[in-house]
A = this chain, B = another copy of it.
Amino acid sequence: MPSQTPQPAFVLVRPQMGENIGAAARAMWNFGLDRMRIVAPRDGWPNPKAVAMASGAGRLLDEARLSPDVSDALADCSFVFATTARQRGLTKPVFSPEAAMKLAAEKITAGEKVAVMFGPERAGLENEDIAKANAIISVPVNPAYGSLNLGQCVLLTAYEWQRQVGEIEHETVDMGKASWATGVEIEKLSEHYEERLEQAGFFFPPDKATNMKVNLRNLWSRMALTNADVQMLHGVMRQMVRWKQRGED
């Protein structure tokens, strides 16, 4: 069963290589998309090479809706994007993958059925197919090169869908087993260093001592230490004290 998550359908139009159909399924499922439609695949259907390549995303192939032509595949869709690698001389809005998936998300939220067409590997979509779309998606590749294959184009579009709808945290910290040091721990660390450095004659001359202590405390609190870091810094100071106490050698 396809997921209930609202999402665009990805329509592979006359795909040629089974491997690429499988790669497209993997690319989609990596980003939580599982509604594939396939129009007139060159090598028939089902395709064992697609299944082999789809490892883990084979369900998308089993559930894919097969259509004899583009019109049939798009029959229930109210807004359709066509992906193209080059300008086609058709008067139609052209979106980046980002802007397209943003619009798709808005339309889907509003209850529309949205589809994205991907053309056959060799030549891409025919102008006749593109004429059935409301808008074009063009990936802004290096103008001097431009060599995205079907799976890569599906991957980038699916990624942008996920970016638009996902609960993506842009920056987090992988803490492992550590946790941030608490205020008390930082305070105790400051005191420990201050006490020992005082003994060691670090805060000199006396009229600068207060300022030096403030700067040191400030350093600890600015560093975003974990409790493990704090323990290690305590250990450093204890070791220096032990070394001192052992006397010169």
Tell me the A residues contacting B by CB distance below 8 Å.
Answer: 26-27, 29-32, 55-57, 87-96, 98-99, 136, 139-142, 145-148, 152, 155-156, 159, 162-163, 166, 168-178, 226, 228
In this complex, what residue of B is CB-closest to A226? B91
Determine chain A's interface SS by DSSP, over half rule. loop
- Beyond A31-B141, A88-B174, A92-B174, 16 additional contacts (C-beta under 8 Å) are A26-B147, A27-B152, A57-B145, A87-B174, A88-B176, A89-B177, A91-B226, A92-B173, A93-B171, A93-B174, A94-B171, A98-B170, A139-B159, A140-B168, A140-B169, A156-B156
* In contact, A94 and B172 (Cβ under 8 angstroms): yes
In this complex, what residue of B is CB-closest to A88? B174
* In contact, A30 and B148 (Cβ under 8 angstroms): yes
* In contact, B170 and A57 (Cβ under 8 angstroms): no
A-B contacts, 10 of them at CB < 8 A, read: A89-B176, A89-B177, A91-B175, A91-B176, A91-B178, A91-B226, A91-B228, A93-B172, A94-B171, A99-B170
In whole angstroms, what is the CA distance A32 to B147 when docked? Answer: 12
CB distance from A89 to the nearest CB of B (A): 3
Task: Output the residue of A56, A91, A148 with the most chain B CB within 10 A.
Answer: A91
| Chain B residues with CB below 8 A from A152, complex form | 27, 30, 152, 155
With contact pairs A87-B174, A91-B226, A156-B155 given, residues A98 and B163 touching in the complex (Cβ less than 8 Å): yes
In whole angstroms, what is the CA distance A56 to B170 when docked? Answer: 34
CB distance from A164 to the nearest CB of B (A): 12
In whole angstroms, what is the CA distance A140 to B171 when docked? Answer: 11
* In contact, A95 and B170 (Cβ under 8 angstroms): yes
CB distance from A147 to the nearest CB of B (A): 6
| Chain B residues with CB below 8 A from A141, complex form | 30-31, 162
CB distance from A10 to the nearest CB of B (A): 15
| Chain B residues with CB below 8 A from A145, complex form | 29-30, 56-57
* In contact, B174 and A91 (Cβ under 8 angstroms): yes
In this complex, what residue of B is CB-closest to A145? B29
Which of B29, B171, B176 touches A142 (beta carbons < 8 Å)? B29
CB distance from A52 to the nearest CB of B (A): 14
CB distance from A154 to the nearest CB of B (A): 11
